[in-house]
A and B are shown apart, each in its own frame.
Chain A
Amino acid sequence: MKQFLSFIRKEFYHIFRDVRTMLILLIIPVILIILFGYAISTEIKSSPIAILDYSRDNVTNRLAEQLQASEYFKLYKTAGSYEEVETLFRQDKIRLAIVFPAQLSGADEPAIQILADATNPNEATALIQYATAIISTSDIVVRNLATEVNQPGVIPAANLLYNPQMKGAYNFVPGVMGLILMLICALMTSVGIVKEKEMGTMEVLLVSPLKPVYIILAKATPYLLLSMVNIATILLLSRFLLDVPVAGNLILLISISILYALVSLCLGLLISTVTHTQQAAMLISGMALMLPVMLLSGMIFPVENMPWILRVLSNIVPAKWYIIAVKNVMIKGLGMAFIWKETGIMLFMILFLIVVSVKRFKIRL
């Protein structure tokens, strides 16, 4: 035990004396939160639109007002013709155009045309939904344009659960947690172990009475502790800076974070057994771990919209399951009963990785 403690103390010296490591540990979580919180926003706000109105009566005027009044849209221009609308789209001045035909109010089947710039499909879909919702629930439409077809007037009342303001932060805070834990536990651990191999100190350690399993544990422990500090930082930042509170049980949230951190540690260990230089370890961690966390975990791009092969691949990305579990607990406030599948998958991953790494880790080099 004393051997183990003196080794852990050494690890902390390594971490605290290396400026680069300290920067990664302390600054990156804050930067990511601020970056995703303010700069990279997937929310739709004040999208520029054009209105082409051939009717020009009180109904269309009122609708145009209501569209502008919503926080989603901002009138860029009242267009005079289809050609002008097309030009505005081409010049990238507007994301959406609304066309009111002539005699809208008198028509048997009144139809309003909505045009969207679908080069960004997710945004286009959202904008169309917002516009449709505003138009179909508008009082003036209900009063004046109600035809026989929609006379009974089934008005859908949409309710946005868990995240009523549709804040992007609710989606990316769990994502950033997944990213940071992977960065620290996998990348830093693998680099830390490979560094000892590269410097030749690993040989000295293996010749010492210190058991290899203790060497590995001692290398991993500090990073596990520090990653928990980072989780606390992220949760505090998201609570007080971004107004994203923890809706569920905090202990449960921390437990699944530790579980995910262990998966990451095992991945880092595996990487350290197949590489011999720090650069290689960093490259593999970056390409094989960080990139999938960003692309395939659902953090930025919805996995559901991906081709089937990527959907299948996303299942082996631990971050995907962690992020789902965190969202369930942190945002929806659900309990253990709703995340047993994700927890089980992560447990299985740990077992699998430990078996593989132990087989690969050559005690006698």
Chain B
Amino acid sequence: MHVIETDKLTKRFGDFTAVDRISFWVESGEIFGFLGANGAGKTTAMRMFCGLSVPTSGKATVAGYDVYRKSEQIKKHIGYMSQKFSLYGDLKVWENIRLFGGIYGLSSKRLADKTDELLHTLNLENERDTLVDSLPLGWKQKLAFSVAIIHEPTIVFLDEPTGGVDPVTRRQFWELIYDASARGITIFVTTHYMDEAEYCNRISIMVDGRIEALDKPSVLKEMYHAGNMNEVFQSLARKATRGE
């Protein structure tokens, strides 16, 4: 089953075509890297998948639901973590968990179980009553990710989740992503770090609103005769005519 499927999906703002006829699919359970320079159209595309923005033309389904007509259904089956920090700093750790669990309609019993499980996995049992603001950034990001998938969504969208985080924490963050993926949650992630791109099952690279390349990292490296993903990305991004 394809969790995301698009056909010539397009978004125009006036004369500007932010996303230009993209067609691809994401398979269930895979880790899909969505790459592109700033202004390439990643965020706009992602907003369409999340039901935050209506496409201008083309087709797309997310978790089996049409993005034009079933955005309410889509919202129930996706998780989302933005590049800005998405928890409430003046709420305690467990209050944040309860809030988002409540918003996604978890029962009290399930919420209590989930909270314990989550705090245990993250080693945050002693920080239950700590205000989120006083946690280190890396912990916050891990907590934000765990909260984003608290309702076991079909797919989770991560918009540059590891921005500004140190390499060790990034590594731990990716372990969480692998765990979630192993549980069957599809991961759709944008990133600026090319070493992270290597962790993905498949990646797509967007240039000027179009998907220029899409395949396994190893295949892409071979195709572009590159030693690492950074070289692949550079040779593609050089074609860009759009500024930031």
Contact = CB atoms under 8 A, between A and B. Distances in A.
Contact of A364 (B51, B80, B157): B51
Interface residues of B, number: 31
B93 to A, nearest CB: 13
A81 interface: no
Nearest to B83: A200
A16 to B, nearest CB: 10
A6 B82 contact: no
Contacts of A3: 102-105
Contacts of A200: 82-86
A207 B84 CA distance: 14
B54 interface: yes
Given A204-B82, A365-B52, A209 B91 contact: no
B50 interface: yes
A200 B75 CA distance: 17
Contacts of B91: 10, 13-14
Contacts of A36: none
Contacts of B54: 364
B92 to A, nearest CB: 8
A23 interface: no
A209 B51 CA distance: 10
A207 B52 contact: yes
B102 A2 contact: yes
Interface string A1-34: 0110111011001100110000000000000000
A201 B104 CA distance: 15
Contact of B102 (A7, A199, A365): A7
Interface residues of A, number: 24
A8 to B, nearest CB: 10
A6 B99 contact: yes
A206 B50 CA distance: 9
A10 B98 CA distance: 10
Interface string A334-365: 00000000000000000000000000000011
A108 interface: no
Nearest to B80: A207
A203 interface: yes
Contacts of B86: 200-201, 203-204
Contacts of B98: 6
A120 interface: no
A208 interface: yes
A210 interface: yes
Given A6-B98, A6-B99, A13-B95, A199 B90 contact: no
Given A3-B102, A207-B51, A10 B85 contact: no
Nearest to A18: B90
A18 B90 CA distance: 8
B85 A14 contact: no
Interface string B25-65: 00000000000000000000001001111100000000000
B24 interface: no
B88 interface: yes
Contact of A209 (B52, B88, B103, B157): B103
B95 A10 contact: yes
B103 A208 contact: yes
Contacts of A208: 75, 80, 100, 103-104
A17 B95 CA distance: 13
A316 B221 CA distance: 66
B78 interface: yes
B76 interface: yes
Contacts of A364: 51-54
Nearest to B157: A207
Interface of A: 2-3, 5-7, 9-10, 13-14, 17-18, 199-201, 203-210, 364-365
The 9 closest A-B pairs by CB, nearest first: A200-B84, A6-B102, A207-B80, A204-B86, A209-B75, A209-B76, A17-B90, A207-B50, A208-B103
Interface of B: 47, 50-54, 72, 75-76, 78, 80-88, 90-91, 95, 98-105, 157
Given A2-B105, A7-B103, A200-B84, 16 more contacts: A7-B99, A10-B95, A10-B99, A13-B90, A13-B91, A14-B91, A200-B82, A203-B84, A204-B80, A204-B81, A204-B82, A206-B52, A207-B51, A208-B100, A208-B104, A209-B76
